[in-house]
Amino acid sequence: MKLFNVTRYRVPALTTSAILIVIFWAYTLFFAGGFNFGIDFQAGINFTVEVPAASDEQVVRDALGEYNPQVQTAGDKGSQFIIRIADDAENDNFQQTVSKAVSDILEAKFGNVSILSEEYIGSSFASNLATQTIWLTLIALGLILFYIWIRFKLNYAVSAITAVFHDVLLLLGFIGAFQLEFSTATIAAVLTIIGYSLNDTIVIFDRIRENSRIVKDKGFNEVINLSVSQSMSRTLITSLTTLLAVVAILVFASGTIKTFALSLVVGIVVGTYSSIFVASPVLLAWHNRELKKVHNALSHSGKSDSSGSGKTSSGSKSAANVPEPVKQTAEEIAEATERKTKKKKKKKK
């Protein structure tokens, strides 16, 4: 097994992530004019139409090009389409005007056309949907934090949530910077990536916890490097296998599904990266901070005791009681882990 010193690159990795997030969000907010919200988050009208003469959704989209519609195929026949047109707030009779215009244009272009359903979405509904989406996402993150806190410890929970926030900010920044449509499919992609990234992170954290119990006197950074190295093949194989399926959807699909697949591709790459180069370094930083607090407390206690006694300072005794770290290599840790695994297998037999 090859050992990867991932903690060595924690500063460049975190710096690169911060720079990308700032660039993407700055471009989205100050140059692109915000996110490209789909009709799910805007007032507009939905049509379900049957157009037997239309070969695919692209010809329908081209026919209604002046209204900048969103079109996707519905049903198994291939002749039914869902058409969504946003309300530009410039026409007082938007629903009536657009409904008649769409019907006239499609009949003139394709002949026989049937409007199966028509639904208008008001601005208040779209606003409520956006608010509910934000709250549901925050509640989901809060529940995840609580679960990992119970399953592991608070430092593991905070590290995992930090990686999840990193993934969400980077993915949304990418979507905004490249002006991909922000719809309910985007929310589905974000929630999917949260679960995917979290699963990778928990697998690595579980290995870190197990190795910490086996080798208690080893430096925590080396335990992290060993744990990530042991999980690396599993992480990469899982990510590549998932990417093969998602890339196939990206290549062969169209419309909203294509945007969804692109979001997943970016999210999988970012999630795999964060589980290795974000979550573990944050956990290491938390551990080092707690270790520094302990050392400072011991040092302060030693100075207080030595000032009130002429005998040997208790600080020296405290220092003497602190065990020296065992000079053990990462390879020896790996061997110890393998021996423990073999013993467990023998006991099961």
For 219-254, what is each residue's pLDDT tens digit? 888 989 989 999 999 999 999 999 999 999 999 887
Closest CA to 194 of 148, 229, 152: 148
Q: What is the pTM assigned to this prediction?
A: 0.75
Q: Is 233 exposed, middle or buried (0-12, 13-18, 19+ CB in 10 A)?
A: exposed
Domain 6-35+126-285 falls in which CATH fold?
Answer: Multidrug efflux transporter AcrB transmembrane fold (1.20.1640)
- Kindly report the average pLDDT of the chain as a whole number: 82
For 285-342, what is each residue's pLDDT tens digit? 988 888 888 778 777 776 666 555 544 444 444 444 444 444 444 455 556 666 777 7
The CA distance from 158 to 19, in Å, is 22
For 188-223, what is each residue's pLDDT tens digit? 899 899 988 888 999 999 999 888 888 777 788 898
Sign of CA dihedral 168, 171, 174, 177: negative
Q: According to the CATH classification, is domain 44-121 in 3.90.400.10? A: no
The CA distance from 77 to 304, in Å, is 84
Domain definitions of the chain by residue range? 6-35+126-285, 44-121
The answer to whether 6-35+126-285 and 44-121 have equal CATH topology is no
Within 10 angstroms of residue 274's Cβ, the number of other Cβ atoms is 26
The helix (run of H) or strand (run of E) holding residue 80 is strand 80-86
